[in-house]
Amino acid sequence: MEPLRDFSSQIPSLLSRYGAAVGLTGLALLASLDVVPHWSPHHLLWPFYAAVLLAAWLGGLGPGLFATILAALAVTRLFLPSTPAPMVRDAGDLIGLLLFLGVGVLFSALNARLRAAERRAESLDRELRREVDERKTVEAIAAKLATVVEELQTSVDRSRQQIGSLTAVSRARRDGRIVECSELFVRLLGAPSSEEVLTLRMRDIFRDPAQWQKLTASLGPGAMVENQELHWRRVDGAPLTVLASIREVDGLIEAIAVDITDDTRADEVER
């Protein structure tokens, strides 16, 4: 059956499909003429059945019906007893001819529905393949984006680690509770451990606690306070001057500070 389907796909034009119907009917007619001396007249329609079935299978509804009509006319004119009018006198011949016409019409209609269903199935298959290809493309893009995001996150973490090794970094809630700090921040405050620092609030390390409130009030989405000179105090109460950049990151106030206490004292001495 597959070779017939392949051959069907090679007959796209209307003229070719109807030409195939005429050719198949002609071959059936030649076969019938060849077997007339050997077969009963009631069997002469058999080659035409094959012609109609093939015409409908290869060409569809129209060529199948066309082959059916051509075959009926050929049988009526050439093999059945002639009458003044185009009529069939024998009841058996009439029943056989009507049966042939019915089978031809039925098979042509069924085959047309089958071909339409195949076209719909092929269309759905193409659509499904297209959606699968699009999904694969989207998944590939998503995977690349995930890789890029992961690389960026790794780069950010590495940069934070590098910054943390050079500067004192802390992160606190807006209420001042310190939730994260670098080792240099711990040493900057003179605390014995990071656990002790995490028990503090940012306003506790400001000599003027109101300065912390002003800083947090000035921070908003995308806002950043850069190179702000802040006056802190160490855990032991010693004064501490830092140059800090402060911003809000993921709902936390991040402070990156550099100790400039010695520079400040040197400036005061020069004055």
Q: In this structure, are strands 168-172 and 178-181 parallel, antiparallel, or unpaired?
A: antiparallel
Same domain, 109 and 175: no
Is residue 153 situated within a structural domain? no
Owning domain of residue 51: 2-132
Q: Where are the alpha helices (DSSP H) in the chain?
A: 2-9, 14-35, 46-59, 61-78, 91-166, 183-189, 194-197, 202-205, 209-218, 261-270
Same domain, 18 and 94: yes
Rounded to an integer, what distance in angstroms lies between the CA atom of residue 185 and that of residue 244?
A: 12
Same domain, 18 and 117: yes
Is residue 97 situated within a structural domain? yes
Same domain, 182 and 124: no
Is residue 42 situated within a structural domain? yes
Each of the 271 residues of the chain gets a pLDDT tens digit; together they read 445 555 455 545 677 778 877 888 788 777 777 665 555 555 667 777 778 888 878 777 778 888 888 887 877 766 555 544 444 455 555 676 677 777 778 777 787 788 788 888 888 888 888 888 888 888 889 888 888 888 888 887 776 665 555 678 889 998 889 999 888 899 889 999 989 989 988 888 999 888 888 888 888 777 788 888 899 999 998 999 998 888 888 888 898 888 888 766 655 555 5
